Structure formats: C-alpha cells, structure tokens
Amino acid sequence: MSERIVAAGRRIEEESLAIIDREVEPHAFGAREWPVVRRVIHATADFEFARTLELHPAAVAVGIAALRARARIVADVRMIAAGLPRLDVRCLIGDEDVGAEARVEGITRAAAAMRKAARLGLLDGGVVAIGNAPTALLELQRLVEARAARPALVVAVPVGFVGAAESKEAARSLPVPWIVARGRKGGTPVAVAVLNALAILGSEEAA
C-alpha cells in the first residue's frame, strides 16, 4: 500500500471524526470517554450511540491498562477476532466440546463457551467482548455474580430483539467495569470499535 493511499485514508478518517465532533457537540462525555463513543459512531454511522452508549466510570482506564498489559480478550463470536488482528482474542464457540455441552445442558453454544472460558481461567483479569449473543452476556453475569469469573472489563454490546436490551440493562449492575450499548442496537462493529478506541488511546497516551 503506497504512502499516498495511506495518507488519503487518514485524511478521510480525520474529516469523518471532525464531522462527528461538530454534529454531536455539546455532550457530557469525558475527554477519555468521547474517543470511544466517537469511534463507535464512526464505525456505524449511527449517532444514536451518543445517547445509548454508557461507560462505567473506571471502564476506559481499566480497558487501557488491560490492553497495555496484553491481556486476553474473550469474544462471543469469531468476527470480533477478525476485526482485532493485533490483539490477543480468544473465541471458544466453535469448539466441539462447547457444542456437546450446549446440547447436554440445553443452553446456547455462546453460553457454553463462556462456561468453558471460566473453567480455563480465561475470563479473569482480561476483557470480555460480547457483540452478538445475549445468552453469553447473561451467562457471564451469572459467572461473575457466583465469583467464578472476574474480568477486568466487560464490553456488553449484543445486538438483537430477544434478550439483548434486557441483558445489557442487567450488565450495568455488574461489580466490574463495563461498557454497555443500551437498547437493541450493537453488534460486532460496535465491540470492535470500542476495543480499537481503547487500544488507540493507550498508544497515544504512551507516546
């Protein structure tokens, strides 16, 4: 890729972010929170996230620290890993034993994947990113409340009509920092945008 193409891409991104700044201001987000929200709007072209995306007071600081420490990210779907090629992302939903457990227990593969991640200790101290499966978020909540998992940060942005809004409302009471997209909207692009924003913030602050 030529430097000219890269420079053109950067100019377009900068102009897009400037447009978002102009159209949303004024807002109540802090200096470290707004870049996360703005990146989500940039990824989705949906200004409603300026109203529905909520961040726990410690979410940005904890997320930046976790990514700087190269903490593992556990995702509910593989598409999140595809959007974060430079980060350590694990997704267990396709594992054969996860499918077997889901059939035996009568639960979704997404929920069974969270259970396996907890058994392996993958959820402790890392980031959990849920962009598609409300059942994964509900199972994560159960694990955290049972003290079977203690993630550093939960990115709770599943999209959907059945259980999505309800699972995210419940996530706002988790005893760990969270980032939640309230309502039905969310998805893989939102989860990826949040984590990319945290990674960029960490790099900028370390420079």
Residue 204 pLDDT exceeds 70:
yes
Compute the half-sphere exposure of residue 201: CA atoms within 13 Å on the CB side of its CA. 24
How sure is the predictor about 25, in pLDDT bands with cuts at 50, 70 and 90? confident
Q: Give the model's pLDDT for residue 138.
A: 97
Q: Give the model's pLDDT for residue 59.
A: 98
Bridge-partner residues for 90, per DSSP? 74
pLDDT tens digits, one per residue of 147-165: 999 999 999 999 999 999 9
- Which is more confident, 102 or 7? 102
- Whole-number average pLDDT of the chain: 94
- Name the residues annotated as catalytic: 42
How sure is the predictor about 135, in pLDDT bands with cuts at 50, 70 and 90? very high
Cα–Cα distances in Å, from 135 out to 35, 122, 124, 142, 188? 29, 18, 19, 11, 15
Phi-psi category of residue 129: left, alpha or beta, with phi > 0 → left and psi -120 to 50 → alpha: beta
> Domains in the chain and their CATH numbers?
3-206 (3.40.50.10230)
Mean pLDDT of 48-72: 96
For the question of whether the overall pTM of this predicted structure is more than 0.85, the answer is: yes
